[in-house]
C-alpha cells in the first residue's frame, strides 16, 4: 500500500521525516513524497496526478483544488516567516542593507514564496517609501519556480540575496529577518483527497497530530 | 506468409511512430483557438519573450557560424592527428543533458566559477544577463552546426580545390571562392538546424541565465512559467515555438535546391 504525498518545496523535508516514523509504525505502508512549487503540484493534481495528500505553501492553491472538488478542505499545517537570505560572508547585516544588494532572486509571482515576497515589497513601498522598495525591486535578476531554486542561486554565490522562508536558511547562509512592519506570515496548509485510502487518512492525522507538530517544530516551523 | 506478417508489423510500428510524432503537435493546434491566440499575443509575457528569443537565437547563430565555419573547414580538410579528438570534443555537448551543461557553465563562468573572478576583473558578469542566454544557446547549438558543416565541406571535391590552387589561388581564396559557394546550401541548412536548437534551449538557460521577463525569459522559459498559471497561454506560446521551428525546417528543406 502506498501513500502519495505532494509537498511544496518549502515543506519537502518534513514529510520525508514523517514518512520514516510513519512507516516504522505501519510497515506495510510506503509513503512517497513528490516535491515542487505548490503551483506546479496543483497543476499536476488538476491534470489527474494521484496525490493522496497535498501540502501547499499557501492556502490559495489548496483552496482552488478544494473548490474544484479534487481535495478535501485544507487544514493549517504550520506557519512560517519570510526572510531575506545572504551568504555568510556578505557585508549586508540587516534588512535595511538590502537595497545595497545588486543581484536579488525571488520566486515567480505564482509560486507562494514569490507571492509572499511581493506582499513584502508592497508593504515596503508603503512603510519605507518608493525609493527603498524600488532599490530592491530594481535589483531582482531572476524569478525562480520554487523556493529551493531561489535559495540555490544564493548558495551558488550567483545572487547577493534572496527571499525565502525562515526554514529554508541552510548552512553557509545567513537570514536577515524582516522588520516587524514588513513581516509577512506564511501559512502552510495540507489537504486530503476526497476518497483517500485508510492509510492516507492515517498519515494525514499523523501529520496533523503531535508527531507531525514535533517534526515541524524540529524543522523550525511555527505551530 | 511470415514475410507478409513482418511487413505488416513494420508498417504498423512505423505508422505508430509517425502518429506519435505528429499527433501531439496537431493536438496543440486543436487545443488552441483564434481567441486564445489573440489573448496570448496581447499578454504582456508574449512579445518580450518572442523578441528575446529571436534576438538571442540570432546572436547565437551569428557567433556559431562565424566561429564554427573555420572549425568545420579544418575538421573536414585537415590531415592532422588532432582532428579526431577535437571532433569528439565538439560533439560532447550533444550527449550531455542541457541541465548538466547549465551547471557546468555556472562552474566555469559563474561568480564563483573557474573564470568568474577573471571575468569580474574586466567588469563582465554573465549569469542573469541576455549574454548568458546566448552563451548557453551557443554551447548547446554549435555542435549541430559544426557537425553538419563538416559534412557539407566533405562533399566539396578536393580536385576542384586543387585546380583552383594550381590556377594561382591561395588557400583563403580557394576556400572563399570555391569551397564556400559549393558548400553554402549545406551550411545554410546547418545554420537553420543550430538556430532551431538555440530557439528551443531551456535547461542550460534556466540554470545559467535564470528567468526574468523581458531580460532572460525566452519563449521556452515562458512556456514553463505560463503553464503554472495559465495553460491556454502556455499552449499558444508552445504553438509559436512550433511555428518558428516549422519555418526553420522549411528553410532547411528549401535550401539544398537553391543556388546563389
Instruction: Check pLDDT > 90 for residue B165.
Output: no
Instruction: Check pLDDT > 80 for residue B63.
Output: yes
pLDDT of residue A216: 93
Q: Which residues on B lie below 8 Å from A153 (Cβ)?
A: 210
Alpha-carbon gap, residue B188 to B87, rounded angstroms: 20
Q: How far is CA B190 from CA A1, B7, B147, B199, B248, in A?
A: 53, 35, 8, 14, 11
pLDDT of residue A48: 87
pLDDT of residue B175: 86
**For residue B103, what is the nearest residue in chain A, using CA coordinates?**
A156
Looking at the DSSP assignment, which residues form a beta bridge with residue B87?
Answer: none
**Rounded-to-10 torsion of CA B63, B69, B70, B75:** 130
So what's the ipTM on this one?
0.78
Of B183, B241, B179, nearest to B46 by C-alpha is B241
- The confidence band for B259, taking pLDDT boundaries of 50, 70 and 90, is low
Instruction: Please indicate whether, in this complex, the C-beta atoms of A43 and B210 are within 8 angstroms of each other.
Output: no
Mean residue pLDDT of chain A comes to 93
Q: Where do the domains of chain A lie, and which CATH numbers do they carry? A: 2-78+188-218 (3.40.190.10), 80-185 (3.40.190.10)
Instruction: Please indicate whether, in this complex, the C-beta atoms of A157 and B211 are within 8 angstroms of each other.
Output: no
Report, in angstroms and rounded to the nearest whole number, the Rg of chain A calculated over CA atoms: 18
Whether the CB of B74 is below 8 Å from some CB of chain A: the reply is no
B18 Cβ contact list (under 8 Å, min separation 6)? none
Assigned C-alpha cell, B16: 505508430
For the segment B171-188, what is each residue's pLDDT rounded down to a tens digit?
A: 888 888 888 999 998 999
Parse chain B into domains and list their residue ranges.
1-31, 34-257
B133 Cβ contact list (under 8 Å, min separation 6)? B52, B56, B201, B205, B209, B216, B218
Instruction: Please indicate whether, in this complex, the C-beta atoms of A158 and B106 are within 8 angstroms of each other.
Output: yes
Contact B228, A145 (CB under 8 A): yes
Per-residue exposure over A90-121, b if at least 16 CB sit within 10 Å of its own CB, e if not = bebeebeebbebebbbbbbebbbbbbbbeebb
Average pLDDT of span A85-102 = 95
DSSP state at residue A222: B
Average pLDDT of span B151-168 = 88
Alpha-carbon gap, residue A110 to A112, rounded angstroms: 6
Whether the CB of B103 is below 8 Å from some CB of chain A: the reply is no
Instruction: Please indicate whether, in this complex, the C-beta atoms of A110 and B228 are within 8 angstroms of each other.
Output: yes
Query: Cell match 505532494: residue?
Result: A6
Average pLDDT of span B232-242 = 91
Alpha-carbon gap, residue B101 to B107, rounded angstroms: 10
Contact A162, A151 (CB under 8 A): yes
Question: In this prediction, what percent of chain B has a pLDDT beyond 90?
Answer: 66
**From the candidate CATH numbers 3.90.1300.10, 3.20.20.140, 1.10.3720.10, 1.20.120.530, the one assigned to the domain spanning B34-257:** 1.10.3720.10
Helices (H), B32-157: 34-42, 46-77, 83-95, 98-109, 116-121, 130-154
Amino acid at each position: 500500500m502506498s501513500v502519495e504525498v505532494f509537498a511544496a518545496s518549502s515543506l519537502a523535508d518534513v514529510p520525508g521525516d514523517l514518512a520514516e516514523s510513519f512507516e516504522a509504525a505501519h510497515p506495510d505502508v510506503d509513503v512517497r513524497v513528490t516535491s515542487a512549487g505548490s503551483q506546479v503540484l496543483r497543476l499536476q493534481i488538476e491534470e489527474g496526478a494521484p496525490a493522496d495528500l497535498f501540502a501547499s505553501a499557501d492556502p490559495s492553491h489548496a483552496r482552488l483544488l478544494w473548490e474544484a472538488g479534487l481535495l478535501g478542505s485544507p487544514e493549517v499545517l504550520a506557519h512560517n516567516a519570510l526572510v531575506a537570505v545572504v551568504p555568510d560572508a556578505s557585508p549586508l547585516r540587516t534588512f535595511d542593507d538590502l537595497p545595497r544588494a545588486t543581484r536579488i532572486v525571488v520566486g515567480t509571482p505564482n509560486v507562494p514564496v514569490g507571492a509572499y515576497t511581493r506582499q513584502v515589497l508592497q508593504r515596503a513601498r508603503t512603510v519605507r517609501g518608493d525609493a527603498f522598495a524600488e532599490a530592491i525591486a530594481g535589483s531582482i535578476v531572476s524569478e525562480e519556480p520554487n523556493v529551493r531554486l531561489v535559495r540555490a542561486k544564493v548558495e551558488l554565490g550567483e545572487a547577493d540575496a534572496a527571499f525565502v522562508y525562515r526554514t529554508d536558511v541552510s548552512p553557509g547562509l545567513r537570514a536577515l529577518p524582516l522588520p516587524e512592519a514588513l513581516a509577512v506570515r506564511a501559512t502552510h496548509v495540507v489537504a486530503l483527497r476526497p476518497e483517500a485510502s485508510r492509510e492516507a487518512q492515517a498519515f494525514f492525522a499523523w501529520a496533523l497530530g503531535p508527531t507531525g507538530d514535533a517534526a515541524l517544530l524540529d524543522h523550525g516551523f511555527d505551530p | 506468409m511470415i514475410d507478409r506478417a513482418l511487413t505488416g508489423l513494420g508498417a504498423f510500428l512505423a505508422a505508430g511512430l509517425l502518429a506519435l510524432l505528429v499527433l501531439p503537435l496537431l493536438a496543440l493546434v486543436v487545443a488552441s483557438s483564434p481567441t486564445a491566440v489573440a489573448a496570448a499575443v496581447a499578454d504582456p509575457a508574449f512579445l518580450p519573450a518572442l523578441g528575446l528569443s529571436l534576438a538571442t537565437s540570432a546572436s547565437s547563430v551569428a557567433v556559431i557560424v562565424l566561429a564554427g565555419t573555420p572549425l568545420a573547414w579544418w575538421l573536414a580538410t585537415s590531415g592532422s592527428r588532432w582532428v579526431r579528438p577535437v571532433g569528439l570534443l565538439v560533439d560532447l555537448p550533444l550527449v550531455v543533458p542541457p541541465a548538466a551543461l547549465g551547471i557546468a557553465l555556472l562552474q566555469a563562468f559563474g561568480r564563483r566559477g573557474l573564470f568568474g573572478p577573471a571575468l569580474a576583473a574586466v567588469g563582465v558578469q554573465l549569469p542573469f544577463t541576455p549574454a548568458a542566454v546566448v552563451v548557453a544557446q551557443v554551447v548547446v547549438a554549435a555542435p549541430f552546426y559544426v557537425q553538419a558543416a563538416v559534412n557539407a565541406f566533405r562533399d566539396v571535391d578536393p580536385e576542384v580545390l586543387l585546380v583552383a590552387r594550381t590556377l594561382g589561388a591561395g588557400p583563403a581564396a580557394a576556400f572563399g571562392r570555391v569551397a564556400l559557394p559549393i558548400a553554402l546550401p549545406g551550411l545554410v541548412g546547418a545554420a537553420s538546424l543550430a538556430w532551431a536548437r538555440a530557439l528551443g534551449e531551456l535547461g542550460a538557460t534556466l540554470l545559467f541565465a535564470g528567468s526574468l521577463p523581458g531580460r532572460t525569459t525566452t519563449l521556452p522559459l515562458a512556456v514553463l512559467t505560463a503553464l503554472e498559471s495559465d495553460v491556454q497561454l502556455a499552449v499558444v506560446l508552445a504553438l509559436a515555438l512550433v511555428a518558428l521551428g516549422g519555418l526553420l525546417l522549411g528553410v532547411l528543406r528549401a535550401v539544398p535546391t537553391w543556388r546563389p
